[in-house]
Amino acid sequence: RARSHEGKGWEYKMKTAEQILGEKQKQLISVDVEVSVFDALKVMNESRIGAIIVKQGDTLVGIWTERDLLKNSVLENFDPKTAKLKDHMSTSLKYCGHNETLYQLQDKFLGMRLRHLLVQKNGKFIGILTPGDIMKTLLNEKEQELKKLNAMIGWEYYENWRWEKKKC
């Protein structure tokens, strides 16, 4: 969506999920469905991520997050070294289209109370977004918009403005 400000010298185009992913510059990291929870945690720690994609062959079948670890760790007889991701992953994947706008993404994160949202393009998942990604982009967008608005205002008028005394 673009808002045009004719004569003002700028046009505002809202960023899309794909553009936000491009700025993030992180690959979609995945592990096999048969991997142990412990091995998945090692990959997550090395990659400094809070969620990992679970695949069976080339097919994405689930996601496993640090929140899942919290839930799993209180289960009786849960051993991360022997527990398989396939038994503990989430299979109801939440995703958005690559062309959804920043505000649409914000609505999804807030409305569905999500911590991770996959991005899909042409039937294929191309990345994952977090609320932090959305917040960072939103703040950057607002900063740029404020700079552009400030550039449009002529402060000289306000700096030189004076009440004039009227003679009666």
Q: How confident is the prediction along the chain (168 residues), in pLDDT tens digits per residue?
A: 444 444 455 555 789 999 999 988 778 899 999 999 999 999 999 999 999 999 999 999 999 999 999 999 999 999 999 999 999 999 999 999 999 999 999 999 999 999 999 999 999 999 999 999 999 999 998 898 888 887 777 666 666 666 666 776
Using DSSP's 3-state secondary structure scheme, residue 76 falls into coil
**Both structure tokens of 134:** 């959305």
Sign of CA dihedral 67, 69, 72, 74: negative
Check residue 4 and give its pLDDT.
44
Quote the DSSP letter at residue 54.
E
Q: Are 39 and 139 in contact (CB under 8 A)?
A: no
Contact 54, 89 (CB under 8 A): yes
In terms of Cα–Cα distance, which of 47, 20, 40 is closest to 128? 20
Residue pair 33/62 in contact (Cβ under 8 Å)? The answer is yes
Determine the pLDDT at residue 145: 84
Could you tell me the pTM of the whole model? 0.77
CA distance 148 to 143: 9
Within 13 Å of residue 154, how many CA atoms lie on the same side as its CB?
Answer: 5
